Amino acid sequence: MLSYKAIYVIVLREFKRFFRQKGRLVVTLARPLIWLFIVGSGFTRLIDIGSGANYIQFILPGIVGMTILFSSIFSTISVVWDREFGFLREMLVSPVSRVTIVFGKLLSGTTLSVLQGVALLFVAPFLGLPLSFQGFAAMILLMFLVALSITALGLFVASFLSSLEGFNVIMNFIVLPMFFLSGALYPVGSLPPVIKVFTYINPLCYGVDSFKHVLLPSGGRLAAEIPMYVDVAFVAVFSVIFTFLAALVFERKK
């Protein structure tokens, strides 16, 4: 049975941990801007997305997705950290159900990721992408769904790991292919057929595409490549599956 007070305590602890790490805050804000303006400006000369198209506009949804990906995945490092220093064992032997712990970790990681994604949305008007109130609200809902799916995946993987070194190796092995096969930097349709297969199982691909529906103008090579309902359905199903798997693994942990 879920304990909402325990979920609140777990979420509050993760928020305090995040905002007390000043270096993490700086990197969190600087990394997407570096990718957007420095990497984006350089790739403009290398990647052709059609005449008159603005490449920096094109990658904005991808950079929002990248921000959510890194934040969601690495928020689950707290599971490994807590296990290594014994705090997780204290939570597991407490009267609180393990499903409550899972939901607390999921909610904290998801919310922190959405907050970081929202901060990046304020750049959109300066890139010539005006965002209406409806569009802003839609982006928050989509970001929450994408962040939930990736946090659930990260929590599931982290539940099997016992060291910070192992976490960093495994998560980088997962994160980089997810990012480069998401359509964040180039259209998915331009990928070779063999590689394109892997994009179909990548939740970030559907997440970035859903962001394009809201942020980018329809029509032309800037537009999204997958129907919106497919994007939302895939990410929602992915979230449910990995939330269930993460809860199942935690229930069976000794």
Q: Given pLDDT bands bounded at 50, 70 and 90, which one contains residue 87?
A: low
Q: Average pLDDT in the 161-189 region?
A: 82
Q: Average pLDDT in the 39-66 region?
A: 76
Q: Position of tokens 């329809």? A: 218
Longest dimension (CA), the chain: 62
Pick from 18, 6, 172: nearest CA to 81: 18
Q: Average pLDDT in the 47-73 region?
A: 81
User: What is the distance between the alpha carbons of residues 160 and 20, in angstroms, rounded to a whole number?
Assistant: 27
DSSP letter at 35 equals I
> Residue 168 has what pLDDT?
78
pLDDT in tens, 181-193: 888 888 887 778 8
Q: Position of tokens 């980089």? A: 176
Kind and range of the H or E run holding 149: helix 133-158
Neighbours of 252 (CB within 10 A): 9
Kind and range of the H or E run holding 39: none
> Residue 51 has what pLDDT?
47
**C-alpha distance from residue 70 to each of 175, 206, 221 (Å):** 7, 16, 27
Most confident of 89-93, 111-115, 173-177, 185-189: 111-115
User: What is the distance between the alpha carbons of residues 53 and 221, in angstroms, rounded to a whole number?
Assistant: 8
Q: Given pLDDT bands bounded at 50, 70 and 90, which one contains residue 218?
A: low
Lowest mean pLDDT among 93-97, 110-114, 132-136, 170-174: 93-97
253: pLDDT strictly greater than 50: yes
Percent of the chain scoring above 70 in pLDDT: 85
Domain ranges of the chain: 4-252
Read off the pTM: 0.87
23: pLDDT strictly greater than 80: no
> Residue 250 has what pLDDT?
75
Q: Position of tokens 């209406």? A: 132
Pick from 115, 107, 145: nearest CA to 6: 107
User: What is the distance between the alpha carbons of residues 183 and 205, in angstroms, rounded to a whole number?
Assistant: 6
Bigger pLDDT: 89 vs 16: 16
Pick from 166, 174, 172: nearest CA to 80: 166
Provide, for the chain, the percentages of residues in helix, strand and coil under a 3-state DSSP scheme, each rounded to the nearest 5: 75, 0, 25
Q: Given pLDDT bands bounded at 50, 70 and 90, which one contains residue 152?
A: very high
Bigger pLDDT: 58 vs 238: 238
- Count of alpha carbons within 13 Å of 117, Cβ hemisphere only? 34
